[in-house]
Amino acid sequence: MAPMGIRLSPLGVAVFFLLGLGVLYHLYSGFLAGRFSLFGLGGEPAAGEAEVAAADGDTVDLREMLAVAVLAAERGGDEVRRVRESNVLHEKSKGKTREGADDKMTSGDVLSNRKMFYLLKTAFPNVQINTEEHVDASDKEVIVWNRKIPEDILKEIAAPKEVPAESVTVWIDPLDATQEYTEDLRKYVTTMVCVAVNGKPVLGVIHKPFSEYTAWAMVDGGSNVKARSSYNEKTPKIIVSRSHAGMVKQVTLQTFGNQTSIIPAGGAGYKVLALLDVPDMTQEKADLYIHVTYIKKWDICAGNAILKALGGHMTTLNGEEISYTGSDGIEGGLLASIRMNHQALVRKLPDLEKSGH
């Protein structure tokens, strides 16, 4: 006899017991399915793409970060191109650069920044993201990555590369060469994303919105771009900023001789691509990239990562490696080269940094 005078039916007890077992089975089978999917035992991804599980909060996969970085640079580039073609830039000055020029900003910068920042932040909420433009929380945009890695990345980087999320810093330049952008000098304009791990650049993306060309590379991983077959180390073509071409020319002619030529150009991303084998008819070719004044890290991190992945170098003019943590700029100018004796070049240019201050 049950308490309160209620008789328990054996059939009812059995039914209740079986229902409980059913609930436990479904809960446990769902858990197992989730665990198996992490090891690739779930459904097959679409041809040419890999579908990845949700990011672990403690670690991130650099291969996934590369996929999102490429997408972010291209989405930002779409905004840059759309604004420029509308010819309504809403141009304004954020202040003065150290050289006294206007530090310009346009709608292209702002809208590209929003797309790039929120795409990366939504996909990887636990990593530090540094960007050139201010991010307005009230203007937040939720952009969801479809969690698929493109075939060209899978071809070069077959396996995941996990790193602690806390070791990662992302640098975004939503519109490099804003001055040239306002002058409608479109070939110089790029959007860029860089991922640094413990301050070292390991992943870089440079996208040219107006020719729709994208270069990417991962250190100890792979790339879709390569170095040229030869470079002139004795009388190099040197690419420099349009704003101080004369300053560099005076010193480099003394160092390399009168046969050396200077290429004035806008945008750090464009200058790095000038050192590589880029299938873009608007892209000039150079042997060295030299900068002699203060420069921001979001301008150079992506190019540094790509050069490093291809066996090249980007250092200060004194030959020091650049750390992509802490402050957002470097004081010591920079020298970028590939397939050359970089330290010998550093020794040849002892006076350039002094001339830049």
Asked if 154 and 61 count as a contact pair (C-beta separation under 8 A), the reply is no
To the nearest 10°, report the CA torsion of 340, 343, 348, 354: 120
- End-to-end alpha carbon distance in the chain: 97
Identify whether 56 is a catalytic site residue: no
Which residue shows structure tokens 């790193």? 163
Q: Are 336 and 316 in contact (CB under 8 A)?
A: no
| Whether the Cβ atoms of residue 204 and residue 194 lie closer than 8 Å to each other | yes
- Residue 300: count of CB within 10 angstroms of its CB: 31
Handedness of CA 343, 345, 351, 352 (dihedral sign): negative
Alpha carbons 77 and 62: distance in angstroms, whole number: 22
3-state secondary structure 105-135: ECHHHHHHHHHHHHHHHHHCCCCEEEECCCC
Which residue in 106, 178, 214, 252 is the catalytic one? 178
Distance, in Å, from the CA atom of 322 to the CA atom of 324, rounded to the nearest integer, reads 6
173 is catalytic: no
The residue annotated as part of the active site, out of 61, 109, 173, 299, is: 109
Which residues are marked as active site? Answer: 109, 178
